[in-house]
Structures are given as structure tokens and as C-alpha cells.
């Protein structure tokens, strides 16, 4: 039985709503409960909370063309505010268990590629522009049409690829996998642990966390992911109090001196919508190509995430469509605008939402919990540093497994679909990008169908997007051709 059939059967036999909130969010109808939604909301927050520390580090470490740096406290406030507001709006407007925050891929592009060319205000204006253009694509129906043009097995491959990608992120975040420095002069890019072996207390916390999570998952214990995060954080605090450990990474599991700190809204509204076009020394072609890359990345990252999370939650309908898709995509586009307008960089739908889905979330009610916790985080910034990455990362590995299970729906004997599916799945984790995986799959699909003489089966929108992906992958020579480099 397919996932969508399962959903259809479940809603036929769904118990009646217990109150108007249940009815609004379709909690019972989707086979969920308030308890599950709340647990899922917490799990998603804890797996995403690292962004409140990491986003200010990434954006705060870069200088714009004029040598200006953004303030870390103001960046933390901006990041939390955008995540809180947009996650709640997605819950109420889109009714999907999909939380949003500043995207990790794009914030590095903003910090290290765009800001050095112009002022911070101009760079954030470019993000606002990107979000506005995405909204135009949604309103004209183009964004939704592209999603519907994708063959179902490729959508399933996107979920599986995200599963592997999210597990890889978990392994890297925890230090279980690390890059081998160039100085080592080897062609092998990554290694086990920090030195080729697993050592240290933080690593032990991660490994125990993975074992605890998979044990609880296998026994189908309710709250498995959340129990593991909380237990491992408690263990990490105990370990850290006994030994002065330096290698936790981003956050250290120790009780802070004070819990409450005031937010600083100083960066909100600091953007110049068309400033980039007038930035000295930056050609219009460069700006247009930057906006193009931002749009393509954001567009397909979100597409993959929305499809992947909805499929994992069993929310796709019989035709593989996402419920409330138009509104979901519009809110995601608005999040990019909000992220740029607040100087938090482009906000987007987060794959870590899969942790909440793994915990049972099926509706936007979970977002009220996740979003409120981000809201609370505005005032509890010292508390943010308690959960070490090693305690949160096992959730990502476990969720990777859950998303991987969709691989069974792909017909591996049909090479015209299996090879593009394989490339989608492989390229996503190996290049650390959802967008790259989708692009590789699209291009392979178009090429294989064409050489098989089945070009007529390809939707015209897939031709169009594949052509854009060709430009995207060849952006460097294209820039040189246009004289922008």
C-alpha cells in the first residue's frame, strides 16, 4: 500500500475532532494527537536551535566591502525573531509541520560571496529582492507548476537524498565525520572522528545518543528523539562539570550564570532593496547572476524540503501533491523577504523539521510550539548554549533513516527513472546541497528520456528548469563569457 493510500484510509477512519483547534489544524483527521504535536514541536526546536548560535557566527565573522561587521547579539535577536514569526505563520497558514529559519547554505553565500562586494544593507537588500521574486513565481503559479511537473519517483528520490544528507549533517555536526586538512596531502576528503579514530567525551555522548535513539525507535517508544536529546544533554552537562572539555564545538553544555538576556532589535529593517545595483565596482550582470543563483537555490531547496517532509509525514495526496502547497510556498518566499529585511539572511523551510515528524508531528500545530520556543529564545539567549551538537545530532541520523525508507517506492529496474533517482540521492549528500541533487537528477532525467527516444514524455517545465540548471552548474564559464568575472 502506498503512503498516500495509507493517509486516505486513515482520514476516512479518523476520529472526530475534540475541539475547534483540533478541527482547524486537522490534528485528529491526520491521525495525530495534541501530545504528539507538542513533542514534535519540541524535537524540531531542539534540532534547529543551533542556528541561533551558528547564524550569528557565520554572518558576524564576515566583513562587508567597507570593513563593517554585524553585531552578534543583534544577529541572534534577528535570527530568533524571523524563525519564531515565520514558523508560526507557516503553522497557521500552511498547516504543515515545517519550521523555518535562516538557511545555512545561503547565509554563507551572503557572508563570504555577496557582502565582500558591497555593504551589508545592499547584500540584505539582494536577499529581500530574491524573496520578492520567489513570491512573484508563486503568485503566477509557476513555482507550484514546476513541482507538479516532477515525476513521482524523482520526488521520492528527493526525500531519500535529503535523508542521507541530513544524516551526513548529523555525523559532521557531531564530529563523527570530519574533513581531512589539505595539509595532509591526501585525496581522501573525510575521515572518522577528528583524527581517524573516535575519541573524547563529546564523541561518546554522540555515539551513546545514536544507540539510545535507534534503540528507542526500534521499540517504537513515543518521544524517542526528544528523550534522547534531553538525556544526552543531561549526561553532557554532568560530564562537562567533571572534566573541563574544550571540544564540544559550537555550544558547551554548562549551566549559564544567568538565564535571561534582553534582545536587541537594532538590525531590523537595515536593508537597501536596490542598493546592490548601485554598488561601486559591481556590474549589473554580476548582481543579476547572484540573484539568479539565490533564487534557484532557494526555490529547489524548499521544493525538496516541502516534498520530503510532507511525504515523510504521509501528507501527500493520491497524486503526490502537498496540501496547501500554494500558501506553503508563498510563506516560504515571504520568509526569504523577512530574513533579508531583518539582516538574518534568507530564511527557508528547514529539513530538520523531519525530527518533529519523526516524533509524530503531522500538522502546523507543532509550529506553534517550535515558533514559541524560538520566541522564548529571544529572551533566554544564555540557555541556548546548553544543548551540545553531540546531543542533537543523533536525531538527524535517526531521521535520515526514516526518510531513507521511501527508497522502496522507486522501481530500480526502470533505468530511465532509476538512474536520475540515484543521481539525485547521491549528489545531495556528496555535494552538501539539496539543490545540486535535484539539478543532477533533472538533467539526467532529460538526457536519458531523450536518448531513449521518449523526449515527448518530458514536461516542458522540466525542459525549462533543466536548462536553468545547466546554467547553474556552468555559472563560472557563463560569468566569464558575459565578462562578469
Ligand X SMILES: Nc1nc2[nH]cnc2c(=O)[nH]1
We find the least distance from the C-beta atom of residue 451 to ligand X, in angstroms, to be 32
The yes or no reply on residue 50 touching ligand X (CB under 6 A) is no
Report which residue's Cβ sits closest to ligand X: 103
Instruction: Tell me, by CB under 6 A, how many residues bind ligand X.
Output: 11
Residue from 52, 84, 99, 104 binding ligand X (CB under 6 A): 104
Q: Which stretch binds ligand X (CB under 6 A): 28-36, 92-100, 350-358, 452-460?
A: 350-358
240 binds ligand X (CB under 6 A): no
The answer to whether 49 contacts ligand X (rule: CB under 6 A) is no
Please report how close the Cβ of residue 360 comes to ligand X at its closest, in angstroms.
20
Rule CB under 6 A: which of 426-465 touch ligand X? 434
- Report the nearest approach of ligand X to the CB of residue 63 (Å): 23
Residue-level length of the chain = 485
Q: Choose which of 77, 286, 348, 366 interacts with ligand X (CB under 6 A).
A: 348
CB of residue 441 vs ligand X: minimum separation in angstroms?
16
CB of 307 to ligand X, least distance (A): 11
Stretch that binds ligand X, among 170-178, 219-227, 240-248, 347-355 (CB under 6 A): 347-355
Binding status of residue 113 toward ligand X by CB under 6 A: no
Single out the residue of 305, 363, 367, 390 in contact with ligand X (rule: CB under 6 A). 305
Interaction of residue 55 with ligand X, rule CB under 6 A: no
Label each residue of the chain as H, E or C.
CCHHHHHHHHHHCCCCCCCHHHHHHCCCCCCCCHHHHHHHHHHHHHHHCCHHHHHHHHHHHCCCCCCCCCCHHHHHHHHHHHHHHHHHHHHHHHCCCCCEEECHHHHHHHHHHHHHHCCHHHHHHHHHHHHHHHHHHHHCCHHHHHHHHCCHHHHHHHHHHHHHHHHHHHHHHHCCEEECCHHHCCCCCEEECCCCCCCCHHHHHHHHHHHHHHHHHHCCCCCHHHHHHHHHHHHHHHHHHHCCCCCCCCCCCCCCCCCCCCCCCCCCCCCCCCHHHHCCCCCHHHHHHHHHHHHHHHHHHHHHHHHHHHHHCCCCCCCCCCCCHHHHHHHHHHHHHHHHHCCCCCEEECCCHHHHHHCCCCCCHHHHHHHHHHHHHCCCHHHHHCCCHHHHHHHHHHHHHHHHHHHHHCCCCCHHHHHHHHHHHHHHHHHCCHHHHHHHHHHHHHHHHHHCCCHHHCCHHHHHHHHHHHHHHCHHHHHHHCCCC
Closest contact distance (angstroms) between CB of 351 and ligand X is: 4
105 binds ligand X (CB under 6 A): yes
Question: Given candidates 40, 94, 97, 103, which one binds ligand X under the rule CB under 6 A?
Answer: 103
Using the contact rule CB under 6 A, the part of the chain among 256-264, 346-354, 397-405, 440-448 near ligand X is 346-354
Task: Find the shortest distance in angstroms from Cβ 434 to ligand X.
Answer: 6
- Give the shortest CB-346-to-ligand X separation in angstroms: 8
Beta-carbon count within 10 A of 11 CB: 13
Residue 275 or 469 having the CB closest to ligand X: 469
Minimum CB distance to ligand X, residue 50 (Å): 9
Q: Which is nearer to ligand X, 150 or 279 (CB)?
A: 150
List the one residue from 301, 312, 332, 359 that touches ligand X (CB under 6 A): 301
* Beta-bridge mates of residue 100: 349
Q: Which of residues 351-370 bind ligand X (CB under 6 A)?
A: 351-352
- Residues in contact with ligand X by CB under 6 A are 103-105, 301, 305, 348-352, 434
Amino acid at each position: 500500500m502506498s503512503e498516500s493510500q495509507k493517509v486516505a484510509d486513515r482520514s476516512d477512519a479518523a476520529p472526530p475532532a475534540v475541539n475547534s483547534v483540533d478541527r482547524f489544524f486537522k490534528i485528529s483527521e491526520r491521525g495525530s494527537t495534541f501530545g504528539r504535536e507538542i513533542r514534535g514541536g519540541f524535537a524540531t526546536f531542539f534540532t534547529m536551535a543551533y542556528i541561533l548560535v551558528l547564524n550569528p557566527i557565520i554572518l558576524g565573522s564576515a566583513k562587508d566591502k567597507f570593513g563593517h561587521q554585524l553585531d552578534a547579539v543583534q544577529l541572534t535577536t534577528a535570527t530568533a525573531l524571523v524563525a519564531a514569526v515565520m514558523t508560526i505563520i507557516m503553522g497557521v497558514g500552511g498547516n504543515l509541520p515545517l519550521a523555518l529559519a535562516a538557511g545555512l547554505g545561503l547565509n554563507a553565500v551572503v557572508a563570504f560571496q555577496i557582502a565582500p562586494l558591497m555593504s551589508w544593507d545592499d547584500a540584505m537588500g539582494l536577499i529581500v529582492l530574491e524573496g520578492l521574486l520567489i513570491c512573484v513565481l508563486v503568485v503566477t503559479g509557476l513555482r507550484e507548476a514546476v513541482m507538479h511537473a516532477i515525476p513521482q519517483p524523482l520526488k521520492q528520490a528527493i526525500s531519500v537524498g535529503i535523508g542521507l544528507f541530513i544524516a551526513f549533517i548529523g555525523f559532521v555536526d557531531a564530529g563523527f565525520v570530519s574533513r581531512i586538512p589539505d595539509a595532509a596531502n591526501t585525496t581522501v576528503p573525510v575521515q572518522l572522528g577528528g583524527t581517524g579514530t573516535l575519541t573524547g567525551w563529546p564523541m561518546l555522548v554522540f555515539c551513546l545518543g545514536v544507540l539510545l535513539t535507534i534503540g528507542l525507535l526500534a521499540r517504537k517508544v513515543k518521544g524517542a528523539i526528544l528523550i534522547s536529546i534531553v538525556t544526552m544533554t543531561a549526561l553532557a552537562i554532568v560530564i562537562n562539570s567533571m572534566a573541563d572539555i574544550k571540544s564540544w564545538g559550537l555550544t558547551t553544555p554548562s549551566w549559564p550564570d544567568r538565564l535571561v538576556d534582553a534582545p536587541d532589535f537594532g538590525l531590523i529593517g537595515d536593508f537597501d532593496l536596490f542598493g546592490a545595483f548601485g554598488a561601486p565596482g559591481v556590474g549589473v550582470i554580476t548582481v543579476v547572476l547572484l540573484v539568479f543563483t539565490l533564487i534557484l537555490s532557494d526555490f529547489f531547496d524548499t521544493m525538496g524540503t516541502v516534498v520530503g517532509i510532507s511525504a515523510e509525514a504521509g501528507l501527500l495526496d493520491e497524486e503526490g501533491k502537498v496540501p496547501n502547497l500554494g500558501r506553503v510556498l508563498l510563506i516560504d518566499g515571504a520568509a526569504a523577504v523577512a530574513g533579508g529585511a531583518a539582516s538574518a539572511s534568507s530564511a527557508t523551510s528547514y529539513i530538520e523539521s523531519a525530527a518533529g515528524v519523526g516524533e509524530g508531528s503531522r500538522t502546523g500545530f507543532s509550529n506553534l510550539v517550535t515558533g514559541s520556543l524560538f520566541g522564548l529564545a529571544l529572551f533566554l539567549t544564555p540557555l541556548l548554549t546548553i544543548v551540545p551538537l553531540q546531543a542533537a545530532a543523533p536525531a538527524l541520523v535517526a531521521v535520515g533513516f526514516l526518510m531513507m525508507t521511501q527508497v522502496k517506492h522507486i522501481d530500480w529496474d526502470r533505468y530511465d527513472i532509476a538512474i536520475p533517482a540515484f543521481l539525485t540521492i547521491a549528489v545531495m549528500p556528496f555535494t552538501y546541497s539539496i539543490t545540486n541533487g535535484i539539478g543532477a537528477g533533472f538533467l539526467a532525467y532529460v538526457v536519458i528520456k531523450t536518448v531513449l527516444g521518449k523526449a515527448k514524455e518530458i514536461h516542458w517545465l522540466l525542459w525549462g528548469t533543466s536548462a536553468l540548471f545547466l546554467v547553474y552548474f556552468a555559472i563560472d564559464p557563463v560569468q566569464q563569457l558575459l565578462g562578469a568575472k
